């Protein structure tokens, strides 16, 4: 469920989901942390994803608020990433590689899955580089390509052990 507004009747939605017995199949997705917190009170068994887009400064501010709430209720945290045309440039990602590493490390400490949405990116090399940075999950418009990259990455990683 990708909730795009704060104006949603969570009680009615929870009633519908309980009636269909799909509680554990739901991923409640939104950009509003408070909605996730309110949702998890109604549906604790569902997963949740907080998505975050924008410039790095705004992301830092939003993450500070999420951190202050101790990442309450969040299963996945997604960052929208813009990928440079030249992946060999000093900084191929926006937000920056350093920021993505910081987020990765903090989410790991809180047992939150780190997901990125490589914005309008169909370059397999970008996905590989993001996997190397420790991204654990992708949202993508290119699922076949993404799955192929992840499979190759995992095969290479397991072959190196």
Q: What distance in Å separates the CA atoms of residue 158 and residue 108, rounded to the nearest whole number?
A: 21
The per-residue pLDDT for range 21-44, each reduced to its tens digit, is 999 999 999 999 999 999 999 999
Query: Which residues are CB-contacts of 150 (< 8 A; sequence separation ≥ 6)?
Result: 127, 131, 138
Q: What distance in Å separates the CA atoms of residue 38 and residue 42, rounded to the nearest whole number?
A: 7
The per-residue pLDDT for range 42-62, each reduced to its tens digit, is 999 999 999 999 999 999 999
The per-residue pLDDT for range 64-80, each reduced to its tens digit, is 999 999 999 999 999 99
**If we measure between CA atoms, which residue out of 125, 38, 123 comes closest to residue 74?**
38
Q: How far is CA 39 from the centre of its chain?
A: 18
Lookup: tokens for 86: 């030249």
Q: What distance in Å separates the CA atoms of residue 44 and residue 23, rounded to the nearest whole number?
A: 9
What pTM did the predictor assign? 0.92
Decide if 53 contacts 25 (C-beta within 8 A).
Answer: no
Q: Helices marked H in 1-142 — which ranges?
A: 10-20, 33-42, 56-68, 97-109, 124-132
Residue 159 has pLDDT above 80, yes or no: no
- Residue 135, Ramachandran bin (φ over 0: left; ψ between -120 and 50: alpha; else beta): beta
The per-residue pLDDT for range 96-129, each reduced to its tens digit, is 999 999 999 999 999 999 999 999 999 999 999 9
Q: What distance in Å separates the CA atoms of residue 27 and residue 5, rounded to the nearest whole number?
A: 16
Number of other CB atoms surrounding residue 96 within 10 Å: 13
Q: Which residues pair with 137 in a beta bridge?
A: 115
Q: What distance in Å separates the CA atoms of residue 23 and residue 16, rounded to the nearest whole number?
A: 10
């Amino acid at each position: 469920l990708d909730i795009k507004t704060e104006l949603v009747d969570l009680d009615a939605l929870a009633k519908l989901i309980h009636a269909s017995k799909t509680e554990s199949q739901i991923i409640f997705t939104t950009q509003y942390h408070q909605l996730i917190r309110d949702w998890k009170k109604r549906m604790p068994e569902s997963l949740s994803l907080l998505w975050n887009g924008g410039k790095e400064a705004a992301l830092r501010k939003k993450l500070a608020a999420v951190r202050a709430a101790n990442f309450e209720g969040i299963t996945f945290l997604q960052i929208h990433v813009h990928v440079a045309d030249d992946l060999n440039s000093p900084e191929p990602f926006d937000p920056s590689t350093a920021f993505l590493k910081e987020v990765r490390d903090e989410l790991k400490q809180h047992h939150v899955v780190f997901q990125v949405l490589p914005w309008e990116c169909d370059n397999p090399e970008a996905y590989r580089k993001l996997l190397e940075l420790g991204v654990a999950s992708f949202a993508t418009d290119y699922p076949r390509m993404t799955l192929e990259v992840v499979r190759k990455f995992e095969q290479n990683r397991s072959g190196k052990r």
